[in-house]
Amino acid sequence: MRWLRYAHQGHIGLGRLVDETIHVHQGHLFEDPQPTGDTLRVSEVEILAPCKPSKVLALWNNFKTAAEKNGWTAPAEPLYFLKSPNSYSHHLQAVMRPKEDAGRVIYEAELGIVIGQRGRDIPIDEADRYIFGYTCVNDVTAVELLRSDASFEQWTRAKNFDGFTPFGPWIETDLDCKNAFVTAKINGRERQNYALSDMFFSPQELVAKLSRGMTLEPGDIISCGTSLGALPWQNDAVVEVSIEGIGTLSNTMKASA
């Protein structure tokens, strides 16, 4: 089942997507929304980010192939950082290059786990109850800023420029993560293609481990990290993040005015 948020004639709405038709619902996405009986065509609306996270927790070094290639040690626990609400953007929204000299900006195609109910210290055997569904994420990074100061790695600065976390275009509630692949294309040319089965930590393990002492709220997203092939994102280039069983998130990098 696919859920999305949309803007239409000045109204922000919620719906379930079936083929190219949105079945409009009322209520809150995570609190049993009810159908209104109205429908819209996808072509009639602007697709918004499918939820409004209080936080995005994004993984680093969560794929075995990338760790082996880069000489990284297998993590004993998930390694993650936070992305702030000002960085969120949606399907087809332009990502603006920072006005300051931020150096190279790269894309990173990732799976996003969408939390469906409030939880803390979640046992791994109960993690599926807290996973509402999955979405596509592009974890954009001003990569040269990360280590521009030898005394302090600047993950917050490098990852949280306005618009640096596109996600969507919708949430898929039923995904076979063990057999799905993530791809990224730049202007139609494939640059990333990796299996979700290559993760060090499964979605269920991530939910359990990241909820230790930290409350996960409905709509929060755990972005599962990326693998090989993340490259610089040039102005006017279109990056498409696709995940089998979900769909395609598309965004264009634009120079700031």
**Interatomic CA distance for residues 27 and 53, integer angstroms:** 17
Element (H, E) at 67: helix 64-70
State residue 102's pLDDT score: 87
Range scoring the smallest mean pLDDT among 2-16, 39-53, 92-106:
92-106
Report which secondary-structure segment, H or E, holds 130.
helix 127-130
Same domain, 54 and 179: yes
Give pLDDT tens digits for 126-169: 999 999 999 999 999 999 999 999 999 999 999 999 999 999 99
Q: Among residues of the chain, what percentage have pLDDT more than 70?
A: 100
Q: Classify 56 in phi/psi space as left (phi over 0), alpha (psi -120 to 50) or beta.
A: beta
Instruction: Please check whether residues 132 and 63 belong to one and the same domain.
Output: yes
Residues 129, 193: one domain?
yes
Number of domain units in the chain: 2
Asked if 172 contacts 1 with a C-beta cutoff of 8 angstroms, the reply is yes
**CATH code of the domain in which 72 resides:** 3.90.850.10
Task: Quote the domain boundaries for residue 197.
Answer: 49-254
The residues, ordered by sequence, that sit 6+ positions from 40 with a Cβ below 8 Å of its Cβ are 6, 8, 13, 15, 21, 22, 24
8-25 pLDDT, tens digit per residue, is: 999 999 999 999 999 999
Residue corresponding to tokens 């239409």:
8
Q: For residues 103 and 31, state if they share a domain.
A: no
15 and 78 share one domain: no
pLDDT at residue 47, rounded to an integer: 98
Residue-level pLDDT at 82: 97
Does 108 share its domain with 230?
Answer: yes
Question: Are the C-beta atoms of residues 156 and 38 closer than 8 Å to each other?
Answer: no
Collapsing DSSP to helix, strand or coil, 108 comes out as: coil
**What's this model's pTM, rounded to 2 decimal places?**
0.96
User: At 85, which amino acid appears?
Assistant: P
Q: Which pLDDT belongs to residue 96? A: 97
* CATH number for 43: 2.30.30.370
pLDDT surpasses 80 at 70: yes
243 and 121 within one domain: yes
* Together in a domain, 139 and 33: no
Considering the domain architecture, whether residues 88 and 162 belong to the same structural domain is answered as yes
Task: Say how many C-beta atoms besides its own lie within 10 A of residue 150's C-beta.
Answer: 6
